[in-house]
Chains A and B, each alone.
Chain A
Amino acid sequence: MKTVAPAQWAGLGLVIALAVIPLLVRNNYQIFILILIAVDTILTVGLSLVMGYAGQVSLGHATFFGVGAYATALLSARFGWPPALALPAAAGLTALAGYLLGVPIFRLRGHYLAMATLGLNVIFILILKNEAEVTGGPSGFTDIPPLALGGLTFDSDVKMYYLVWAVTLGVLWLSLNVVNSRVGRALRAIHASEVAAEALGVDANAYKLKVFAMAAGFAGLAGGLYAQAIHFISPSSFDVLVSIELVTMAAVGGLASVWGSIFGAATVVLLAQFIRDRMGVLLAGASGEQEIIVFGLLLVVIMVFLPEGLTVGGLRVLRAWPITRRLRAARDQT
């Protein structure tokens, strides 16, 4: 009995919706928001592999986002590499950086691991701000050349939208394949009981390093795409608050859910826009900076009431709803 799973229908629906959206939305700002959602989805997927599947906390994921963005910018603007080459090279470099930094970091566990990743992010921002000759310092790095592939230059938001979403879907596909494999099982086993996984021959440390490198590589890719989408980057786009935002996205989407990461990224990006636009109106004197308070609250509420995230947890709550239960009972009877 070969049937198309609901997830496959959802995936197909998503691809069609993504393809059609730019035809309906002619406002560049909205297209740009959709690009941001895609970039954040790539970041969130990687983070959910590390946190949700392997069970290793990272509060410094924005570091790798920044490494990818600055590597792309430096390679293309300073060293004159074609951007189409700089982008994958930056992703590869970021994956390598993730692996190497992971070696000392994964000697730690739990809260210590969280603190170390947070510290990594803080140090990274200090370097970006202080090494001004290389990075442009606090004011950032401008004039990042647009990506060109063959005769096609990605110089408009709509072109960039299609590119970024195509890459995002590719990343989701790769992640789903990993999650539903021997590797994904090993990661979840490490999360559930590291000693038992080790006792069955799973090299837990090697798996942690590799999944961290993979997530870093994705983040590097997201960073490169981000740099090329907005042609300007500065340290504030990669600081600890961004890392916290990413954890919020992963938590909203469900820490161990690949598809949930789109939902998590979309929710947080849209919420952030809403807060920046309206906070001043709702609360006199409040600036956009206060968004982090809202995210903090959101994170706490989700962790307490829906620890599997809004998607998975929401579905569970919905299933338990009396009306849904009665509907299902009626359906099962027929």
Chain B
Amino acid sequence: MSDTLLQARQIYKAFGGVQAVTGVDLAIQRGEIFALIGPNGAGKTTTFNVISGTHALDQGEVIFDGHAIHGQAAHRIAALGLVRTFQNLQIFGTLTVLENVMVGRHMHTRTGFVTAALRWPGVRAEERETRARAQAYLKVVGLDGRADEPAGSLPFGQQRLLEIARALAAEPKLLMLDEPAAGLTRPEIDALNSLIRRIQAEGVTIVLVEHDMNLVMGLANRVAVLHYGRKLADGTPAEVQADERVIGAYLGVGWDAAPAYA
């Protein structure tokens, strides 16, 4: 019972004259960990950005959980259950650690301008509940001890964890992690590895863009390799690692065998 959660067909994105993503197809199954890898500039993050609505795509279609999401605003895509983190951290530095995660609860809470301004019945209860839940998500990533510190003052590795906690608080169906291990130390990467497994065990589908091959090959159920904006190969980690085109793209050998896009 292969149940596709996200299907991207023939997606294209150019920046000026640079074709960043060229006709990429992806199919992500419910419950799996799917990794997107490729050399620098292969179009991984751009693929991420056009799927999550951070950037508009030029062509192609993306179906998520039965909804066509191409051309939709990022907040609408998020509301359907597709939540992402960012490669270049996008922590709300002026908010506290806890408040960051509370923003993650935004879609699951109701209080608006009028009800907030008038302290409508229920507003305080909702706020208490949000705080408690946010605190629980902080605990998942082990940041519950730093709840009231300004998020901007956390060390880099913890900011990455905070971004993941914030995204989890949004209760995504699909969690997209953009280079979650970048800039982390070895022990931090090991902790990340087990965190991602725990998230998968909770039933969340995960797509990650990652450079750390040990992490990817150990975690991912399936891998797609991008090269010069095109999909070179996909399959299980073992299949991909054995693929000659992939080896060529990564090691720079067999240039005549590699397709001449550049």
Contacts and interface: CB of A to CB of B under 8 A. Distances in A.
Co-assembled chains A and B: yes
Contacts of B119: 177
Interface in A62-118: none
A181 B116 contact: yes
The residue among A185, A192, A200, A210 with the most chain B CB atoms within 10 A of its own CB is A200
Given A185-B102, A188-B94, A198 B113 contact: no
Contacts of B113: 178, 183, 210-211, 214
B107 A192 contact: no
The residue among B73, B112, B123 with the most chain A CB atoms within 10 A of its own CB is B112
A192 B74 contact: no
Contact of B103 (A195, A200, A214): A200
Given A181-B116, A185-B95, 13 more contacts: A181-B111, A182-B106, A186-B103, A192-B91, A192-B95, A195-B54, A196-B92, A198-B53, A198-B73, A198-B74, A200-B78, A201-B75, A202-B75
Interface in A171-228: 174-175, 177-178, 181-186, 188-189, 191-193, 195-204, 210-211, 214
B118 A177 contact: yes
B247 to A, nearest CB: 35
A45 to B, nearest CB: 12
A147 B91 CA distance: 49
B112 A183 contact: yes
Interface string B78-92: 110001101000111
Given A177-B119, A181-B127, A196-B86, A186 B106 contact: yes
B109 interface: yes
Contact of B94 (A183, A192, A196, A203): A192
B166 interface: yes
B117 interface: yes
Contact of B95 (A174, A181, A183, A189): A189
A188 B99 CA distance: 10
Contacts of A204: 75
Interface of A: 174-175, 177-178, 181-186, 188-189, 191-193, 195-204, 210-211, 214
Contacts of B95: 185, 188-189, 192
A183 B111 contact: yes
Given A181-B116, A210-B113, A201 B106 contact: yes
Contacts of B92: 188-189, 192-193, 196-197
Given A181-B123, A184-B116, A197 B103 contact: yes
A253 B184 CA distance: 40
The residue among A183, A189, A199, A214 with the most chain B CB atoms within 10 A of its own CB is A199
B28 interface: no
Contacts of B79: 201
B206 to A, nearest CB: 16
A177 B117 contact: yes
B52 A199 contact: yes
The residue among A181, A191, A204, A210 with the most chain B CB atoms within 10 A of its own CB is A181
Given A177-B117, A183-B112, A186-B106, A201 B78 contact: yes
Q: Closest 3 interchain pairs by CB?
A: A196-B90, A181-B116, A201-B107
A183 B116 CA distance: 7
B103 A202 contact: yes
Nearest to A203: B75
Nearest to B126: A182
Interface of B: 52-54, 73-75, 78-79, 83-84, 86, 90-95, 99, 102-104, 106-107, 109, 111-113, 116-119, 123, 126-127, 130, 166-167, 170
Nearest to B54: A195
The residue among B84, B86, B111, B166 with the most chain A CB atoms within 10 A of its own CB is B111
Nearest to B82: A199
Contacts of A178: 113, 116-117
A182 B127 contact: yes
A202 B111 CA distance: 13
5 contacts: A177-B118, A182-B130, A183-B112, A199-B75, A200-B83
A66 B186 CA distance: 61
Contacts of B99: 185, 188
A180 B176 CA distance: 30
Given A182-B111, A184-B116, A200 B104 contact: yes
Contacts of A211: 113
A63 to B, nearest CB: 21
Nearest to A202: B106
Nearest to A192: B92
A202 B108 CA distance: 11
Nearest to A182: B111
A34 B207 CA distance: 60
A210 B79 CA distance: 20
Nearest to B99: A185
Nearest to B151: A192
B75 A192 contact: no
B109 A193 contact: no
Nearest to B108: A201
A299 B75 CA distance: 36
B127 to A, nearest CB: 7
B83 A199 contact: yes
